[in-house]
Structures are given as C-alpha cells and as structure tokens.
Structure 1
Amino acid sequence: MQIKFFCPRWGSESLSWVDFCSKVKKAGYDGVESPVSLDEQEKKEMKTALDKYELLFIGQYYQSFNSDLEIHKTEFKKHLYNILELDPLLIDSQTGKDYFTAEQNRELFELASFISKESDVIIAHETHRNKALFAAHIAMELLNQNPDVLITADFSHWCNVSESLLEQQETALKTAIERTVHIHSRVGHSQAAQVSDPRAKAWTNELETHLNWWDQIIVKRAASKANLLTITPEFGPYPYMPALPFTDMPIANQWDINLYMMNLLKDRYKKYIL
C-alpha cells in the first residue's frame, strides 16, 4: 500500500493556482485537495497548474447549505459532476446535514454512490460538524444503515462535538476506522476542532491520541490489501486557527503546521512511502 499526501487549497486562496501549485510541489506534497469553482476560467487555470506541476488532485465538496432536500440534492449533484471534470483521484464530500433525518441523508449517500459507480471515482464522506456524520454515535448508526459508505476520517470534529477525546466511543471509532479511505490529519480537542499548534507540548495527549487513531487506519487499510491511502494535513486558517483579540492575527503559521504534520507522518509511515 502506498500513502500519498495532499496540500489543502484552504488558506492559500490568495495565491494564483500556478504559484500555489509551485509551492506545493517544492514542499514535497503529492497533490492538492480543493473545491472546484463553477467558473470555467478558474477551473481551466486550476487544471493547467495541476498538470504543469504533475500534482494529483482530490476534489472537495462542502457547498451544502440549503435546508430544502430537493434543492440540496440538485446542488450536490451539480458540484460532484463539476469536480469530476478535473479527473480527481477521489472526492472528499461533506455530505448531508445534522438536521436532516437519517432517511434524508441516506438519499444523499445513495446519490453519491450512483455518481461514484458511474464515474469510477471514490466519494469519501467526511466526518464533519454540521454534516450527516457530525458525531461519532450518529455516524456509527448511519454507517451501519448504509454499508457501502466510505469516509474521510476527520475525528477532530467528533472531539469538539462530544467535548472529549472519544474515550467512551470506541465502538463508533472502530466502525469508522474500518470505512476510512482518506484522512484529514488535523488534531482537535474537547473545545475546538483544531489545537493551536500540534508542536506545542501542551497538546501532546491530543496529538498522540489522533496518531493512534491514524495508526489503526493505516494498519486496517494495509490489511485490506488496498493499493492506496491518502492524507491531507488540514489545519485551517483563522477562525479555525486561534487569533489574537482585536487584531485577528493568527497565533501560528498554518502552512508551517501542515508541512510539519506531513513530514511527521511521512516519517512515521515511511515504509509506505515509495
């Protein structure tokens, strides 16, 4: 099994696509994870830059804002097909809503499954606040009810939602780990989905807890004879990144933290890096 690392576009939107992809390539990432604009010119610039620097691409869907299910489904479908125009390796999808019923979220999972089979591109549903898989216990129920659903594991959100490091939710974690095909390697804690800086000793317990979860995913994915696991270090900019009051100055550097996380995991999982 190989592990490939992806750089989030999130937080670097001020850079042109060419400058961003050049920076990503020099940093040692294998690819980019990003949403795809509906604007044809921007989409062309994005594709040109990815091709120029020979970067792999993971598409990201998050535009799930409408509470009307039928409108929501239409927009979901539109954005998934838009991402597919750029030939993604897979799609990370913040699917559904926490206020939709299990049946409503199931309809979205089924729509994604149809598009995934049609395109032969995996759609991994993210464990994200405000989405269908927003909490560990709810996700376990939905995963058991929808056995074909694969996930992006971002357990930082579950820590925040449950105000814990999931000590009492081992069964839900086991279920999620078995379904994981993509990881967002952000470290969360009981009060937020992002620690201020994972390099700080104050967050050692949180970092080690997340590393243990990711280790289990690696072992499970390798044991299943999978060819690939993908990881995106996804520490975000302000307001995910804490900032100083009044100035909104971030207290740490997002780019440096994500680079640190990639290199930490490259070393930890070096036998899977070719």
Structure 2
Amino acid sequence: MILKKILTAFALSFFTLLGMAQSTKKVLFFQTDWGRSVSWDVFCERTKASGYDGLETWFPNNEKDQKELKAALKKYDLLVGFLNGTNKSIPFEESLAAYTNNFEKIAAWKPAYINCHTGNDFYSFEENQAFIDAANKAAKKYGVPVYHETHRGRFSFNMVDTKKYLKSIPELKLNLDISHWMVVHESLLTAQEDKLEEVIERTHHIHARVGHAEGPQVSDPQAPEWRKAVDRHLDIWEKIIRSKWKSQDTFTVTTEFGPPDYMPTLPYSHLPVTDQWKANVYMMQALKQRLNLE
C-alpha cells in the first residue's frame, strides 16, 4: 500500500512537471494581410480579436501607410513580420542591390522576422546564392531572423533543387510553405519522408496553407474532401514545431490562405468559394489543437 502511494505520488509529480515543461512552449501566430481591403486599424483590430499575435505584410511603400501601420501595431499590441523579395522584372544587379538595401529599412522596425521571396527559378545557382548570401549577411548585421520561403518561381520552387542550396549554404534557413511543393511535385510527398528530414531540420518558420497535387490552395480546409491533404500538412507542421521545441521555446507560424483568384471562385459571378479569414483562423485553431495549445 505504501509503495503504491509512493508510485502514485511520483507519477503525479512526473506528469505535473511534464505539463509545466509543455506549457513553456508556444507558437506565435501571424495573420497574412494578403488581400487586405480595410484600414490598418480595422485590420489589426480584427487580427487581435481573432487570437493572433501579429501580422505578416510587405513593407509599406509610403510614409502614410508606414505611420498608420506602426500606430495600429502599437494600439493592438501586435508583432509584425515583413516580407522582402527579388524583383524579377529588372536586371539582376539592380534587383540584388534593391533586395539588399531593403533590409536596412525593414530591420529598423525590429520585426519578429523577415520572410524572403528569394531569387528566380530562371537564375543560375550562383545568382540565386548571391541573394541568399545578402540576406544572411543582413540577418547577422541587424540581428533579425531572415527566412527564405519555399515558393514557385523562386530558387526554392521544388524540393530537389532546394536541397542543393541547403547542402551548399549551412546558414540557409527556410520558411516552409510546402503547399507549393505539393503542386510542383503533384503529390502530398508521402513517399518522400527521408528527403523531407533535412528540410524539416532547416525550417524556422511556416506558412500554414494547404495545397494538393493539382493546386497550391484547397477550396476550403474544413471540407471533408480535403481531410487527407489537411492532415498531411498538419503532420509535417507538427513534426517541425515539436522538433524545434527541443532547442527553443517559441516558434512562428503565418496562416496564409489567399484571396481570389488564388482562392478558387465560381464562374461568371467570381464569388469566392469560402471565406479567406475563416480559413486562416481555422488553420490556426487546428494547429493549436494538434499541439495541445488550447
């Protein structure tokens, strides 16, 4: 009887400590402003009310937008993650200079991170590497995390080529938007678990959008016909986050379901088949549930 009580007390203590350890781990969720059609104040108010910790956006082009964004972030106590990208419509040297110079003005805001649309799928390895190196130097110079998004049209448009860059550039950190690779490789990558291991290890941020073998965005993540695709993405995301939690307490995720026409629409009426905001909030809640954060 005494031994049973001791074992019971030990078990209770163990699971209490385990729960305390788990409670220190967290995910900061960012809402995309892709398709935003309201003021920064209205957008930030809704973002906060929906349970987000911050938002992700391209750095505003003019001072008016910058002032309004900064005021709204402060008012609603929100973090910000900025994007920086390679302009593929101008010459390489000019694009590299603009990309490099952008980091200074972005970093001055002390964002939670900078997410980069880096390079061009038509550039050479060396040309793309020049953009990656510039970003990595900026990360060290300004002390801001810089990630490179896996994205169609960029150096990282598929898994095979991305792994070549990972092998050659140890400092390369990914923002994994694996929805792009699902459509590029025309599969949910279920037969590529071993090849995904290095990608998972080098992922430091996630864009939580669900793609499938024929497109980068399912029509509605809550629809039963997309359950397999949603679960596959959640499995990968959970593996990434739990792996990172072994060495850090906080991980960042942006929910990134896009607006029409990225979101499928009905013919003629052009009405979206679902609500973008609801789809993004659903993904945040699904991840929280999967990670036992609620």
Structure 1's unaligned 5+ residue stretches are none
Larger Rg: 2
Q: Which residue of 2 aligns with 1:160?
A: 183
After superposition, the C-alpha distances for 1:183-212 in whole angstroms (9 at most, x for unaligned) are 111000011100001101101111111111
Q: 1:27 aligns with which of 43, 47, 50?
A: 50
Shift of 1:63: 5.2
* Normalised TM-score (structure 2): 0.88
Does 1 or 2 have the higher relative contact order (CA < 8 Å, sep 6+)? 1
Q: Which residue of 1 aligns with 2:272?
A: 250
Shift of 1:65: 2.3
Q: Which residue of 1 aligns with 2:125?
A: 102
After superposition, the C-alpha distances for 1:56-94 in whole angstroms (9 at most, x for unaligned) are 111112453235221111121233223223220101111
* Normalised TM-score (structure 1): 0.95
Moved over 3 A (4+): none
The count of corresponding residues between Structure 1 and Structure 2 is: 270
Q: 1:170 aligns with which of 185, 193, 198?
A: 193
Q: Which residue of 1 aligns with 2:160?
A: 137
Q: 1:51 aligns with which of 50, 62, 74?
A: 74
After superposition, the C-alpha distances for 1:233-253 in whole angstroms (9 at most, x for unaligned) are 100001110001122111100
Q: Which residue of 1 aligns with 2:59?
A: 36
**Take 2:96 and 2:162, find their aligned partners in 1: how far apart are those partners?**
20
Q: Which residue of 2 aligns with 1:9?
A: 33
Say yes or no: does 1:265 pair with 2:265: no
Structure 2's unaligned 5+ residue stretches are 1-24
Shift of 1:40: 1.4
CA separation of 1:246 and 1:79: change in aligned 2, threshold 3 A: farther
Q: 1:202 aligns with which of 225, 239, 251?
A: 225
**Take 1:51 and 1:83, find their aligned partners in 2: how far apart are those partners?**
17
Query: Is the CA contact (8 Å cut-off) linking 2:27 and 2:250 kept in structure 1?
Result: yes
Q: 2:256 aligns with which of 224, 234, 240?
A: 234
The two structures, once aligned, show a CA RMSD in angstroms of: 1.4
